Amino acid sequence: MKRLAVAAAAILCAQIASADDLRNDALAVFKPIPSTVPEVRGNPVTPEKITLGRKLFFDPRLSGSQALSCNSCHDVGAGGSDAGPTSVGHGWQRGPRRAPTVFNSVFNIAQFWDGRAADLAAQAKGPLQNPIEMNATADVLLAVLKSMPEYVADFQRAFPKVADPVTFDNVAKALEAFEATLITPASPFDQFLAGDDNALTVTQKSGLRLFMDKGCSACHNGVNIGGDGYFPFGVIEKPGADVLPRDDHGRFMVTKTASDDYVFRVAPLRNVALRAPYFHSGQVWSLEQAVAVMGVAQLGTELTPQEVKDVTAFLGSLTGEQPRIEYPLLPPRTKETPIPH
């Protein structure tokens, strides 16, 4: 019995040491999601801005048809994205790329798959005015908001000491402030990083080790497990045209630099298990298939079925506490409110 006890203690010590080694290696590459709302450069996040931004995020009257809201494509009940490969916009048009998740997007180096927006405020202005997406104009949008006294009062509270606070810039800043609150802390992976050896299963720990050792973490790192750099899709081998459409040249369309051809911002992997389908084309519906595609395309490695299973299990540990958002009561329209177009 004494020998068995000694052997069991030795095994336990080895497991603890192994977990500590894995954790230390992970902490050198990743950072946990903070439990508090991060600061936003140039736009102090206040309760008043958050309240206003939440209303604007859910209000379909910001669109030309007054039928589409930010939440239509970035559904806070579905991982911060939508259910289809690409989003349905104005007049049933479809955009060319999958809607990125809004969750934890405040941690990204830039917004959109090609990084053309420097921050969430700049990003917010794009879909509002895009004729394929919300199909509004700044002038019409402001006319809608100014026609409702409750919105005018909300803007005055959110942006005090400003003579005319209802501006397009302030719409974007309010949306940015609300979206900065959409973080998902306390995932099993974060709990493991904080010292809980039991937060990850044996399979998830194996997947984490593979994720680092195989080279996935060279691109997918930091607090958002991605989102902070740009890399070609197809470093070793370009996927087929169904996954990588040949007419979407990625960041090249922004920079016009040849080396940016088929380069995209690295997808953040937080809550990735909630967000099928995958990639900017939205053509891969299985997370295991997405892992296998990335192995070949980015690493030049055909992962074994067990390796795919383990890495996928690790990715499941990145699902954090989802934001609990109460749907706002929106200001009623008045006789001055422009009608849909």
Q: Which residues are annotated as a binding site?
A: 70, 73-74, 90, 216, 219-220, 294
Q: Is the preceding peptide bond at 232 cis, omega within 30 degrees of 0?
A: no
Residues for the chain: how many in total?
Answer: 341
The alpha carbon of 78 is separated from its chain's Cα centroid by a whole number of angstroms, namely 12
Task: Tell which residue, 278, 285, 279, has the closest CA to residue 262.
Answer: 279
Catalytic annotation present for 133:
yes
- Residue 30's DSSP bridge partners are 222
What is the DSSP annotation of 265-295? Answer: EPPP-TTGGGS-SBTTTT-B--HHHHHHHHI
Residue 11 makes CB contacts below 8 A (sequence gap 6+) with: none
User: Of 39, 48, 133, 302, which residue is the catalytic one?
Assistant: 133
Annotated binding site for heme c: 70, 73-74, 90, 216, 219-220, 294
User: In whole angstroms, what is the distance from residue 311 CA to residue 26 CA?
Assistant: 14
Q: In the numeric block, which tokens belong to residue 201? A: 């299963």
Rounded Cα distance, 253 and 97, in Å? 14
Instruction: State the catalytic residues.
Output: 133
